[in-house]
Amino acid sequence: MNVEDKEVYMKPATSILLSHKMKKELTKIANSATEEFRIVQRAKIILKANEGLMNMEIASDLCIDTDTVSMWRIRFSKNPCIEALKDKEGRGRKETIPRVLKYEVMKAACSPLKLEYKARGENRWTLDLIQEEIKKESDITISRSEIWSILNKAHIKPHKVKMWQHSPDPDFKKKSKKL
For 63-73, the pLDDT digits (tens) are 999 999 999 99
Confidence at residue 14, expressed as pLDDT on a 0 to 100 scale = 65
Q: Same structural domain for residues 23 and 64?
A: yes
Query: Residue 122: how many CB atoms within 10 A of its CB?
Result: 14
Pairwise pLDDT comparison (133 vs 91), residue with the higher score? 133
Q: Same structural domain for residues 81 and 104?
A: no
Give me the number of domains the chain comprises. Answer: 2
Is residue 94 one of the residues assigned to a domain? no
Query: Residue 107: how many CB atoms within 10 A of its CB?
Result: 13
Going by C-alpha positions, the residue among 126, 117, 122, 124 that lies closest to residue 148 is 126
Confidence at residue 98, expressed as pLDDT on a 0 to 100 scale = 86
Which of 60, 85, 110 is the last residue in one of the domains? 85
Is residue 33 one of the residues assigned to a domain? yes
Is residue 25 one of the residues assigned to a domain? yes
Q: Same structural domain for residues 47 and 105?
A: no
Q: Same structural domain for residues 80 and 103?
A: no
Q: Same structural domain for residues 33 and 59?
A: yes
Is residue 2 one of the residues assigned to a domain? no
Pairwise pLDDT comparison (174 vs 29), residue with the higher score? 29
CB of 110 closer than 8 Å to CB of 158:
yes
Is residue 169 one of the residues assigned to a domain? no
Q: Same structural domain for residues 105 and 46?
A: no
Confidence at residue 7, expressed as pLDDT on a 0 to 100 scale = 47
Q: Same structural domain for residues 48 and 108?
A: no
64 is in which domain, residue-wise?
8-85
Which of 32, 56, 85 is the last residue in one of the domains? 85
Pairwise pLDDT comparison (165 vs 24), residue with the higher score? 24
Is residue 61 one of the residues assigned to a domain? yes
